[in-house]
Amino acid sequence: MFRKLFLLLFLIALFLKPILAQENFERNINVQVFDKLSNPYIYPWIGGFNHIQVSEIDLNLDGINDLFTFDRAGNKISTFINQGIPSTIAYTFAPQYKDSFPELHDWVLLRDFNCDGKIDIFTYSSGGAAVYKNSSQTQLSFELVTNLIYSDFLPDDGLNNPINLYVSSTYFNLFYFRNLRGISQKFVGRKFWNL
Ligand SMILES: [Ca+2]
Ligand SMILES: [Ca+2]
């Protein structure tokens, strides 16, 4: 009896050991990496890009727009802080800001749709586009405004005909936003209903 109990406890301990002994890893992007000629790589820990879209946004809320990239291959967000050196292009890789963004996929354009000076998010949603408002106060944050933009495709018939403003997951470049609130009535002759 005791032998069976001991064997059972031994097997349970053997099973739990790899679970309880899981390592915690911490990302360190300060390790320098050199090429074969001993030249240091500037951004060795970014992971590479395949098909990126680039936008500006103030990540650290210092009043200077920083750099946001979205790699459509893998839906990967990368963030860079603008060092703000006059007449110099100088960015620091700052991956800690990517977790402030919601889960995004297919395409992402960062534009200020409500003209409050804070750059917002337009991104693909099923058959259209979703919008997140930049709600940052003391740190970067976003709030979902709509998961699908609707528009009136028959604006002159006196009726409300809201239907999703179709945007492809691939031909996103046809989708262009500029001063959206101010020109919404003129924008391709349609009216947005939920922005
Ligand atoms: Ca900034
Ligand atoms: Ca805004």
Tell how far the Cα of 134 is from the centroid of ligand 2, in angstroms: 6
Query: Binning pLDDT at 50, 70 and 90, where does residue 8 land?
Result: low
- pLDDT computed for residue 90 by the predictor: 92
**pLDDT(184) > 50:** no
Tell how far the Cα of 115 is from the centroid of ligand 2, in angstroms: 5
pTM score: 0.74
Closest ligand to the CA of 110: 2
Average pLDDT, integer, range 18-36: 80
Query: Binning pLDDT at 50, 70 and 90, where does residue 156 land?
Result: confident
DSSP letters spanning 6-74: HHHHHHHHHHHHHHHTPPP---------B-TTSPBPSSTTS---SSEEEEEE-SSSSSS-EEEEEETTT
Closest ligand to the CA of 195: 2
Tell how far the Cα of 110 is from the centroid of ligand 2, in angstroms: 9
Query: Binning pLDDT at 50, 70 and 90, where does residue 163 land?
Result: confident
